[in-house]
Structure 1
Amino acid sequence: MTTHVEHVMGLPVSLDLRDEGDFAGAVAEAFAWLHDVDARFSPFRADSEVCRLDRGEPAAGDLSADLDEVLTLCAYYEDLSGGAFSARLPGRGLDPSGVVKGWAVQRAADRLHAAGARRFCLNAGGDVVTEGEPEPGRPWRVGIRHPERPDAVCAVLASRDGAVATSAAYERGAHVLDGRTGLPATGLLSVTIVAEDLTHADALATAAFALGTDGIAWAAAQPRCGVLIVDSQRRVHRSPGLALA
């Protein structure tokens, strides 16, 4: 059993790994990957690959394979959301953060899986990847923070071999902007998406939040996803069959 916590990408990232054996090397590699992503993809570091691309250096044809993949994902979710999700907001520089965190944490989980880990929970500030079960017959329990009470949860979800991502304004204020207007998104307090991988869950949660009240029906229409949304009127919208712990 291994527990590990580091501060990376501006938030605490914790690992609860229940497999027996020596996974120290795999854990170190997974967290080194997250630190590397933070350095290369941060829109706040002048020497990051994202900022250099935004300045026109290097040329688009010289992008790393990782950044090319991230930008392709950003374009996909922008199209899927009708422009509400965007890495290029009006009056702002290139910022692919809406994809990067979920993508990076999922890739870290994939590294752990490749090393033989089969029972773990990787939590990046409330966005979670789970594999297997902590104990036979018991799922991982993922608490969803109450959007207006920092000391409370509004639901606890059961997760096995999946991902849970939440987009809300409680940590960083009105940081989710509607890509169609460049203005802060309104109409929703929090959006939680349950999906097969965190790349998809995190991007969908951000896009749905950016869509405002239209994001409720939009998120519910996405295939193979569960939805838990609290709107600004404090109404809860939940997918039928969403697994609660």
Structure 2
Amino acid sequence: MLRVEHVMGFPVSVRVDEGAGAPEAAADEVFAWLREVDARFSPFRPDSEVSALDRGEIPAGAVSPELAEILGLCEHYRLATGGAFDARLPGRGLDPCAVVKGWSVQKAAGLLSAAGATRYSVNAGGDVVAAGGPWRVGVRHPEHADRLCAVLEITDGAVATSARYERGDHILDARTGRPATGLLSLTVVAPSLTEADATATAAFAMGARGVGWAASRDGCEVFAVDEKRRVLRTPGFPSVRAAPRAFAPG
């Protein structure tokens, strides 16, 4: 079963190869959950819980358990990065999207597991959580959309990439309020997409120092391309094919 829908601002594909007795019903549940997440936690919807909290209409101690979990994760990464990652950027409202995406898609994967799926993948705008592999995932070249700079293989786990190529300089260093510099792309492999996605974004916000920080986190393997087009990767990064230590932009 393969289904693709546009939700939370990007395409999401759900593929179930084995295990679920009713894969279409499981996919229905996944997409219903993601639409609920978008309605409740999007800072771009004025009627969302996040927007209401940001306007002061909900006391901080009265948020839903799910939003409390999200805010707790945001604070964890803020402290861990020395303030480079922050859901509250100077001059902007509360925006926990960098945590919500991976968190919600990981929970969607849990719905597939609960439905009995044993071999499946969920691809949310290029970030992937998969089970029952091996699965091969390509890492896009940061400067050439038609090329890959690595192909990795995972069995059970998640892959997330933060980069400039899709949305430009959209990741800011919260310490300065300016676009993060030092990296062109950074990919993290971790046991869950909650960890992989938030770590990739937080590390990218830190700049070149973020590569070492991400690599030091338990269970995380890293592949990065810096502004000098050098490739940096941890020894355990599960690549089937990877670029050399440095490569020319052309």
Give the TM bin, normalised by the shorter chain: over 0.9
Q: Which amino acid aligns with 2:145?
A: P
Aligned with residue 196 of structure 2, among 183, 187, 201? 201
Q: How does 1:129-148 map to 2 (within 5 A)?
A: 129-133=129-133, 139-148=134-143
1:176 aligned partner: 171
Q: Measure how far apart 1:206 and its partner are.
A: 0.4
User: Which deviations, in whole Å up to 9, do the C-alpha atoms of 1:165-191 show, x marking residues without a partner?
Assistant: 000011111110011111110110001
Following superposition, which runs of at least 4 residues in structure 1 exceed 3 angstroms of deviation? none
Q: Measure how far apart 1:241 and its partner are.
A: 2.6
User: Which deviations, in whole Å up to 9, do the C-alpha atoms of 1:186-217 show, x marking residues without a partner?
Assistant: 11000100000000000100011000011121
**Structure 1 residues without counterparts, runs of 5 or longer:** 134-138
More divergent stretch after superposition (65-74 vs 14-23)? 14-23
Aligned counterparts of 1:241 and 1:199: Cα–Cα separation in 2? 20
Aligned counterparts of 2:41 and 2:198: Cα–Cα separation in 1? 16
Aligned counterparts of 2:182 and 2:79: Cα–Cα separation in 1? 21
Q: Which amino acid aligns with 1:76?
A: H
Number of matched pairs: 239
Aligned with residue 155 of structure 1, among 150, 154, 157? 150
Q: How does 1:37-48 map to 2 (within 5 A)?
A: 37-48=37-48
Aligned counterparts of 1:163 and 1:209: Cα–Cα separation in 2? 17
Aligned counterparts of 2:62 and 2:215: Cα–Cα separation in 1? 38
Aligned with residue 159 of structure 2, among 135, 155, 164? 164
More divergent stretch after superposition (15-24 vs 174-183)? 15-24
**In the alignment, structure 1 residue 224 sits paired with structure 2 residue 219:** yes
2:7 aligned partner: 8
Among the aligned pairs, what percent are the same residue?
Answer: 62
Report the TM-score, using the length of structure 2 for normalisation: 0.93
Q: Secondary structure at the match of 2:178?
A: coil
Aligned counterparts of 2:125 and 2:9: Cα–Cα separation in 1? 9
Aligned counterparts of 2:67 and 2:222: Cα–Cα separation in 1? 29
Q: Which amino acid aligns with 1:51?
A: S
Q: Measure how far apart 1:46 and its partner are.
A: 0.9
1:52 aligned partner: 52
User: Which deviations, in whole Å up to 9, do the C-alpha atoms of 1:123-154 show, x marking residues without a partner?
Assistant: 00110001012xxxxx1011111110111111
2:26 aligned partner: 26
Q: Secondary structure at the match of 1:102?
A: helix
Q: Secondary structure at the match of 1:93?
A: coil
Aligned counterparts of 2:224 and 2:23: Cα–Cα separation in 1? 36
1:107 aligned partner: 107
Aligned counterparts of 1:57 and 1:169: Cα–Cα separation in 2? 35
Aligned counterparts of 1:85 and 1:230: Cα–Cα separation in 2? 20
Aligned counterparts of 1:59 and 1:69: Cα–Cα separation in 2? 15
Report the TM-score, using the length of structure 1 for normalisation: 0.95
User: Which deviations, in whole Å up to 9, do the C-alpha atoms of 1:83-126 show, x marking residues without a partner?
Assistant: 11100011100000110000000000011111111100110011
Aligned counterparts of 2:121 and 2:174: Cα–Cα separation in 1? 32
Q: Secondary structure at the match of 2:173?
A: coil
2:246 aligned partner: none
Aligned counterparts of 1:143 and 1:35: Cα–Cα separation in 2? 27
Aligned counterparts of 1:241 and 1:42: Cα–Cα separation in 2? 35
Aligned counterparts of 1:166 and 1:84: Cα–Cα separation in 2? 17
Let me know the Cα RMSD of the aligned residues.
0.9
Q: Which amino acid aligns with 1:13?
A: V
2:67 aligned partner: 67
